[in-house]
Amino acid sequence: MKVVVIGDALVKSATLKDAVLQMNLEGKIDKIEVFEWHSDLTKDHFQKHILQIERYGPEKVEIPQGILEALKDAEYLFAHYAPISEIMLKSAPKLKMIGTCRGGLENVNVAAVRELNLPFLHVIRNAEPVADFTIGLMFAETRNIARAHLSIKSEQWRKSFSNDAYKTTLANMVVGIIGAGYIGRLVIKRLNALGIKVIVYDPFVDPAIFARDQLSVELKSIEEVFKEADIVSLHMRVTEQTKNMINKDLIQLMKPGSYIINTARADILAKDDLVDALKNRKIAGAALDVSWIEPIPKGDPLLSLDNITLTTHIAGDTVDAIPRAPYLLKDVVNAYLKNGYSDMLIK
């Protein structure tokens, strides 16, 4: 049996190979062939390739040299950020499984995977950090933590803010979750622990999962969530169906004292509609860890708003999230091979 692994600047091929050796794959591993995808770059220089593949997908970036030949007799393919494109998949007639040790799917041609009916497993390597950060942004935006800090650094002592008429404790608010996948459910778990009412929209999640995970939620339509929630937190993937899904039609349903939090992907939110709502005080504020262009360019309208908290796409960035990722994938693969199912199986 042959396994192909592709390392990159963040997850080294040696680590991924070590995790593969701990997988209970079907049969004896005869060969693990290793490839690299910009593994020689620093984290900062690798960022441009991350942004490229997240925005344009696996068909628009270069693939590792020699990999098409290697995939001809490979039965398993594991990677992190490297592209898994249609030509790669169609070069691998013996492939039994694909695994990636990250949550996003932008680097994989999912349609091609489905067409070939291959099991595709992934892991939300930074799910816990993102869930923590999401809660942090809720506090930071609603209670003006970042703005007060900025005023002190600017030699001011600011006590008044644009949301003064709506300031209250998080316990008095209703939080709406759009997208109750793995990260969304971790956010719900934290909100439940804080005693905060949670309403949810996700037509693709089996309602039985909430009972299984002992989560207290009310399921609503997306329009009901935007009408009723004081904070709407976005946790969806970017697809053709979800791009610009959160637009003026939904934002105009929100209460004047409500907020939008986005730690998912920028493209699910219509930028001009959000800027208009914030500029004209149609909603109280927003907090974004992701932006449509990163870094945010000088002169961007986001930078002139006084009712938004911006961070530099760091929600999932902790010292242990990425190094643990291959071993999380190992656990997911082993559980799937043992039980025949997994929450991390992309269908």
Instruction: Encode pLDDT of 221-237 as tens digits.
Output: 999 999 999 999 999 98
Query: Residue 123 — pLDDT band, cuts 50, 70, 90?
Result: very high
The larger pLDDT score, comparing residue 320 to residue 3, is at 3
Q: Which CATH number fits domain 127-310: 3.40.640.10, 1.10.150.120, 3.40.50.720, 3.40.50.410?
A: 3.40.50.720
Instruction: Encode pLDDT of 72-101 as tens digits.
Output: 999 999 999 999 999 999 999 999 999 999
User: What long-range pairs does 186-191 form, CB within 8 A, spacing at least 24?
Assistant: 186/127, 186/128, 186/130, 186/131, 187/131, 187/134, 187/135, 187/233, 187/235, 188/215, 188/217, 189/131, 189/213, 189/215, 190/131, 190/132, 190/135, 191/135
347 pLDDT more than 80: no
Q: What is the pLDDT of residue 85?
A: 97
26 pLDDT more than 90: no
- 82 token code pair: 């490297």
20 pLDDT more than 90: yes
Active site residues: 265, 294, 313
Q: What is the mean pLDDT of residues 257-276?
A: 97
Query: Residue 342 — pLDDT band, cuts 50, 70, 90?
Result: confident
Architecture, CATH, for domain 2-126+318-339: 3-Layer(aba) Sandwich (3.40)
Give the percent of the chain with pLDDT over 90.
Answer: 88
Q: What is the mean pLDDT of residues 316-322?
A: 86
**What is the model's pTM?**
0.81
The larger pLDDT score, comparing residue 60 to residue 103, is at 60
Query: Residue 120 — pLDDT band, cuts 50, 70, 90?
Result: very high
List the single range of 86-100, 145-159, 206-220, 329-343 with lowest mean pLDDT. 329-343
The edge-to-edge listing of strands for the beta sheet with 231-234 is: 218-219, 197-201, 174-178, 231-234, 259-262, 285-288, 308-310
Enumerate the domain spans of the chain: 2-126+318-339, 127-310
Q: What is the pLDDT of residue 330?
A: 96
Question: Contact, 344 vs 122, CB < 8 A?
Answer: yes
Give 3-state DSSP helix, strand, coil % of the chain, rounded to 5: 40, 15, 45
Q: What is the mean pLDDT of residues 196-204?
A: 97
Average pLDDT, the chain: 95
2-126+318-339 and 127-310 agree in CATH topology: yes
143 pLDDT more than 80: yes
Q: What is the pLDDT of residue 341?
A: 83
Q: What is the mean pLDDT of residues 48-76?
A: 94
Q: What is the pLDDT of residue 6?
A: 98
